[in-house]
Amino acid sequence: MTETPTTEVVTPAPESTLAADGTTTTRRSRSRVMRRLRRNRGAMIAAGFIALLILVAALGGLLPLPDPNKQDLVNRLSGPSGDHWLGTDSFGRDTLSRLVAATRVTLLAATEGLLVAVVLGVPLGLLAGYVGGATDAILSRIADGLLSLPGLVLALAIVGVAGPGLTNAMVAIGIVFAPRFYRVGRSAAQSVSHETYIEAVRADGVPTSRILLRHILPNSSGPLLVQASFAVGFIITAEASLSFLGLGVQVPDASWGSMVREGFAHVHESTFAIIPPAVMITLTVFAFSQLGDGLRDALGRDSRGS
């Protein structure tokens, strides 16, 4: 495999004299990773698409679109037209407006789920990997137990006891994905906990929580980023699934999954209403998995190269 010389301008790695805690290598390799990632066309298209989504989610309300909740029962389930570019749903609401509104709901929900997963998984994983022993054994058994359950069944069960609703659904999904982040955090902590610089700060009497967050967490940022990128794709799928089942977002709000649900309820009258949200889900999930692949390749080659 020869690396083709690149013509693009790459910002040079920031010179750093910090060596004691490993930040130098992290920073230098970060720019190398970015360079590789930028050369990966699939990953860059995916990143561009995701950026566009975020823009739509943030500024969607400013677009000159009809009110997403305005009903027009005369024009229900109409196909694409000049007035309604993506047609209308069973209440005659404009599909494009609802799709834009749903983008915001979906992305916020995904963020929520990811945060729950990361906040639950990573610190516990770092702790387990760093201290080992009984703490590690107990936490790891719980993670194994959670991982041995089909994700959707576990999420359903949690929503089942907590009650339907988008927040509950996202907490449930976060719990489902927490073990994956637990594992990443644990292996990162295990691999560096015996490095000399960690031993050094420990000898200085730095408290464990500070060692974990300031010294070990930055070193696991690469694998965590890869895991997060993949997880967002899965979380969006899971949110769509729960909302499709009616357990996630509740009327009159819309996420892509609930739009598919509404469309599917009237599938015998018109199949078109399903298509726009289904396409959005597919493209978005695909974009996050492409970005994850790109990140993994960029980081993977880095760890092999050094």
* Residue among 48, 79, 145, 252 that touches another protein (CB under 8 A): 145
* Residue among 245, 266, 297, 300 that touches another protein (CB under 8 A): 245
Q: For another protein, which is the closer residue by CB, 22 or 125?
A: 125
User: Which region among 5-13, 63-71, 94-102, 271-279 touches another protein (by CB under 8 A)?
Assistant: 271-279
Rounded Cα distance between 276 and 260, Å, is: 9
* Residue among 77, 240, 254, 299 that touches another protein (CB under 8 A): 240
CB of 60 to another protein, least distance (A): 23
Residue 297 binds another protein, judged by CB under 8 A: no
Structure tokens at 288: 């996050």
Residue 221 binds another protein, judged by CB under 8 A: no
Q: For another protein, which is the closer residue by CB, 111 or 289?
A: 289
Q: For another protein, which is the closer residue by CB, 188 or 298?
A: 298
Q: For another protein, which is the closer residue by CB, 130 or 272?
A: 272
* Residue among 157, 213, 251, 265 that touches another protein (CB under 8 A): 157
Whether the CB-CB separation of 255 and 240 falls below 8 Å is answered with yes
Q: For another protein, which is the closer residue by CB, 18 or 265?
A: 265
Residue 286 binds another protein, judged by CB under 8 A: yes
* Residue among 22, 68, 125, 233 that touches another protein (CB under 8 A): 233
Residue 241 binds another protein, judged by CB under 8 A: yes
CB atoms near residue 58 (< 10 Å): 12
Stretch 246-265: interaction string toward another protein, x if CB under 8 A: xx------------x---x-
Residue 48 binds another protein, judged by CB under 8 A: no
* Residue among 13, 192, 201, 278 that touches another protein (CB under 8 A): 278
Residue 141 binds another protein, judged by CB under 8 A: yes
H, E, C per residue of the chain: CCCCCCCCCCCCCCCCCCCCCCHHHHHHHHHHHHHHHHHCHHHHHHHHHHHHHHHHHHHHHHCCCCCCCCCCHHHCCCCCCCCCCCCECCCCCEHHHHHHHHHHHHHHHHHHHHHHHHHHHHHHHHHHHHHCHHHHHHHHHHHHHHHCCCHHHHHHHHHHHHCCCHHHHHHHHHHHHHHHHHHHHHHHHHHHCCCHHHHHHHHCCCCHHHHHHHHHHHHHHHHHHHHHHHHHHHHHHHHHHHHHCCCCCCCCCCCHHHHHHHHHHCCCCCCHHHHHHHHHHHHHHHHHHHHHHHHHHHHHHHHHHC
Residues that bind another protein (CB under 8 A): 2, 141-142, 144-146, 148-154, 156-163, 233, 237, 240-241, 244-247, 260, 264, 267-268, 271, 274, 278, 281-282, 285-286, 289-290, 293
